[in-house]
Chain A
Amino acid sequence: MGAYLTRRVLLMALTLFGMSVLIFVMLRLVPGDIADILVDSAGIVDAAEKAKIVRELGLDKPIHEQYFGWISGLARGDLGFAYVSERPALEEIAPRIPVSANLALLALIYSVVLGVPLGVISAVRQNTALDYGLRVVSLSGLSLPSFWLALLILMASVQWFGTIPIYKVEPRSIWDEFLLLSVPALAVGFRSSALIMRLTRSSMLEVMRQDYIRTARSKGATATSVNYNHALRNALLPVVTIIGIEAAFLIGGLIVTETVFNIPGVARFLVEAILWRDYPIVQNIVMLIAFITVLVNFVVDMAYMVLDPRIKYAD
């Protein structure tokens, strides 16, 4: 067990290191850097002026020096300076994290609250009209682009309330923030709930075929007891793993939804930074996303082991 954990942690570190190299190199493949954009937007064509910008931003240094500069800074908690705002990248990124985190958490809650019960109903009523209906709903959840769903929600709110819920910089209270985030979270969460619902359904169906379910039925347990005490508790195991995939799903959903609803979160900031070629912001946010994804997968594997005593990771 100890050896397994050590290997897992080392692999995680290796993955993150590889990601840091990958993102760093890929960003520098981009045709045109921030200096070009700044020069273009200011309308300056002075080569000396441009060279000065390049020097100030450290873009003239060899690429490996730039990389080590970034990584050693990262180790000290210094993320460098944002090109656009010229403020420390940490100060730019950190305040946006709670916004995205709250949105993601809310979306996750929605997706579980909607997905698990509907998945159970769909499985228990397999091949009925209700099951077909729910399956079509869940598949459509996977088929609607979340930004379109978000736009439709905006349209509906304009139609009915004559206004659009715009995220304010400083929500007055937690309740206020909850209200503002609940609609965008629904746009993200609906898609994820579809994934959870499908998995819960197929996992339930799998479990319902097991012998111990037949045993439970034959000893006279009620249908409710069989469905919930015997089947659901075992069927939920694979659903836990999906949270790993879910994390990836949610982040993708956040990117477009934050853009549509103008929510000042990390995900929208990433898109803006990419458009601006703001390397320090892009590479740090990408590393943050990679770190979260890798960590979530690790935690899910560990949770799986705790929940299912049959699973033991060999040393």
Chain B
Amino acid sequence: MATFDHDAALARAGANVSGFWGRAAFLARRYPLGAAGLLLVVLFVVTAVFAPWIANRDPFTTNARASLAGPGGGYWLGADFMGRDMFSRIVYGARISLAVAAGATVLGFAIGIAIGLAGGYLGGWLDLATQRVMDIMQALPLLVMALVMAASLGPSLQNTIIAIAIALVPNVARVVRSSTLSLREQPFVEAARAAGLSELRIAVRHVLPNTMAPLIVLATAQLGSAILTEASLSFLGLGVPEPHPSWGRMLSESAAEYVRTAPWLVIFPGIAISLTVFGTNLLGDAVRDIFDPRERT
């Protein structure tokens, strides 16, 4: 008969954890992969924010004599066809990726929450109509939807953000709607109504905050796909235009052509995209486990 060590079990469950750093250390031990993901995401955000201090050269300055210079020497990660420093371009590229990921997620979530909350809470024809529109939008894969949107809006950083945001809307709207449908039948909503609060206030102040857990999970999961979608759009020539240094477009410029002669142009931007998305995915998994213990794997 095995003995049960209560103290060890309590420690594993985090019973004696206190303070911000204590909790952080506990979570890091419990979700090592998530902690690694968070580290990568922090690294990415820091790179984006402090790009001018991190980059050792100007990412836009061309230099014909340094065209396709190899890594090492003055150009840590080599130079592209126009002699622009790859390291600096990748560092500045983090800004584009961050702007698109954060911008598209915030915008897409704002629209999706408004639609899902209104439809789920008010129900009736509004719900029916918005649901059918979401059906239509979901009939296209994310990338195709973003591709068509980006094409119809025209290439610019702002339009790329809008295109990806719109492609994210249906998912968000569905998640908010399904939570709202069950929440609006809860006694606390009835209580709020009995207290004389307006429907708008009940929906926004009482129902919405309760849908946050699945939304946070979804948002972390969507960050990575927003970054990947931007990279794909830019790779196809329908995303962020020149002169912005987008990781995806760096790959399309260098694609096939320089595979033989300048492999660093293919390798480094790809590593930047993959590491960043990998980080958000690791973080997303941990966030899902923390917020939704039923899904714990």
Residues of A within 8 A of B (CB): 11, 14-16, 18-19, 22-23, 26-27, 29-31, 132, 135-136, 139-140, 142-145, 147-148, 151-152, 154-155, 158, 164, 201-202, 205, 247-249, 251-252, 255-256, 259-260, 262, 270-271, 274-275, 282, 286, 289-290, 293-294
Contacts of B260 in A (CB 8 A): 158
Task: Assess whether B278 is in contact with A143, with CB atoms less than 8 Å apart.
Answer: yes
With A27-B148, A148-B270, A164-B259 given, can you name 12 additional A-B contacts, CB distance below 8 Å? A15-B135, A18-B133, A22-B136, A22-B137, A145-B228, A145-B277, A152-B270, A155-B259, A202-B295, A256-B143, A271-B147, A274-B147
CB of A27, distance to nearest CB on chain B (Å): 6
A18-B135, A143-B277, A256-B235 are known contacts. Are A154 and B147 too (CB-CB below 8 A)? no
Contacts of A251 in B (CB 8 A): 141, 143-144
The 4 closest A-B pairs by CB, nearest first: A252-B143, A248-B141, A148-B270, A18-B136
Q: Which residue of A lies closest to B275 (CB)?
A: A143
Task: Assess whether A139 is in contact with B148, with CB atoms less than 8 Å apart.
Answer: no
CB of B132, distance to nearest CB on chain A (Å): 6
Contacts of A271 in B (CB 8 A): 147, 236, 238
Q: Which residue of A lies closest to B138 (CB)?
A: A293
CB of A199, distance to nearest CB on chain B (Å): 11
| Bound form: Cα–Cα A151–B266 in Å | 7
| Bound form: Cα–Cα A145–B236 in Å | 13
Contacts of A16 in B (CB 8 A): 139
Contacts of A154 in B (CB 8 A): 256, 259
A145-B248, A154-B256 are known contacts. Are A249 and B33 too (CB-CB below 8 A)? no
At the interface, yes or no: B61 with Cβ under 8 Å from chain A?
no
Q: Offer 11 A-B interface pairs, CB within 8 angstroms, sorted by A.
A: A11-B132, A27-B151, A139-B285, A145-B251, A151-B251, A151-B270, A158-B260, A205-B297, A256-B236, A271-B147, A290-B139
Task: Assess whether B259 is in contact with A147, with CB atoms less than 8 Å apart.
Answer: no
Produce 1/0 per residue, B250-287, CB < 8 A to A.
Answer: 01000110011001001100100111011001100100
| Bound form: Cα–Cα A289–B152 in Å | 18
CB of A275, distance to nearest CB on chain B (Å): 7
Residues of B within 8 A of A (CB): 33, 132-133, 135-144, 147-149, 151-154, 224, 228, 231-232, 235-238, 248, 251, 255-256, 259-260, 263, 266-267, 270, 273-275, 277-278, 281-282, 285, 295, 297
Task: Assess whether B136 is in contact with A139, with CB atoms less than 8 Å apart.
Answer: no
CB of A120, distance to nearest CB on chain B (Å): 14
Task: Assess whether A202 is in contact with B148, with CB atoms less than 8 Å apart.
Answer: no
Contacts of A144 in B (CB 8 A): 270, 274, 277
Contacts of A260 in B (CB 8 A): 255-256
The contact of A155 among B136, B147, B263, by CB within 8 Å, is: B263
Q: Which residue of B lies closest to A203 (CB)?
A: B297
Task: Assess whether B144 is in contact with A18, with CB atoms less than 8 Å apart.
Answer: no
Task: Assess whether A15 is in contact with B136, with CB atoms less than 8 Å apart.
Answer: yes
CB of A249, distance to nearest CB on chain B (Å): 7
Contacts of B149 in A (CB 8 A): 26
Contacts of B285 in A (CB 8 A): 139
Q: Which residue of A lies closest to B36 (CB)?
A: A136
Task: Assess whether A256 is in contact with B295, with CB atoms less than 8 Å apart.
Answer: no
Task: Assess whether A148 is in contact with B251, with CB atoms less than 8 Å apart.
Answer: yes
Q: Which residue of B lies closest to A291 (CB)?
A: B139
Contacts of B263 in A (CB 8 A): 155
| Bound form: Cα–Cα A16–B132 in Å | 11
CB of B254, distance to nearest CB on chain A (Å): 8
Task: Assess whether B140 is in contact with A289, with CB atoms less than 8 Å apart.
Answer: yes
Task: Assess whether A148 is in contact with B274, with CB atoms less than 8 Å apart.
Answer: yes
CB of A99, distance to nearest CB on chain B (Å): 18
| Bound form: Cα–Cα A270–B151 in Å | 11
CB of B26, distance to nearest CB on chain A (Å): 18
